[in-house]
Amino acid sequence: MAVTTSTFWLGLGNSVASLIIMISAPLLGAIADSVGGHKRLLLCFAMLGILATVCFFFVGQGMWPIAILVYVVAIIGFSGANVFYDALLPILAPKSQQHSLSALGFSLGYLGGGLLFLLNVVMTLKPGLFGLSNTAEAVRWSFLSVAVWWFIFTIPLVFHVKDNPRANTGTTFRGSLNNLVVTVKRILADRNVALFLLAYWFYIDGVATIIRMAVDYGLSIGLPSNSLIVSLLIVQFIGFPSTLVFGRIGQRYGAKFGLWIALSAYLVATIAAAFMQTSVHFYILAVVLGLVQGGVQSLSRSLFSHLIPQERSGEYFGFLNMLGKSAAVIGPVLVGFVGLLSGSTRIGIVSIIALFIIGMVLLLRVKEPAPTTA
Asked whether the beta carbons of 39 and 100 are under 8 A apart, the reply is no
Alpha-carbon distance of 288 to 355, in angstroms, equals 18
pLDDT of the chain, 374 residues: tens digit per residue: 565 666 677 667 777 777 787 777 767 766 666 666 678 888 999 999 999 999 999 987 777 788 888 988 998 888 778 777 777 776 776 666 666 777 777 788 888 888 998 998 899 888 988 888 888 889 899 999 999 999 999 998 888 877 665 544 445 556 656 766 777 888 888 899 999 999 999 999 899 888 777 777 777 777 887 777 788 888 888 988 888 888 888 878 888 999 999 999 999 999 988 888 888 888 888 899 889 988 998 899 888 888 887 656 666 776 787 777 666 678 878 887 888 888 877 888 888 999 999 999 999 999 987 655 54
The sign of the CA dihedral 336, 342, 345, 348 is negative
What's the burial of 129, exposed, middle or buried (CB within 10 Å: 0-12/13-18/19+)? Answer: exposed
**Of 19, 20, 45, the residue nearest 32 (C-alpha):** 45
Asked whether the beta carbons of 70 and 202 are under 8 A apart, the reply is no
Asked whether the beta carbons of 150 and 50 are under 8 A apart, the reply is yes
All structural domains of the chain: 3-161+173-364 (1.20.1250.20)
Alpha-carbon distance of 213 to 335, in angstroms, equals 9
pTM: 0.72
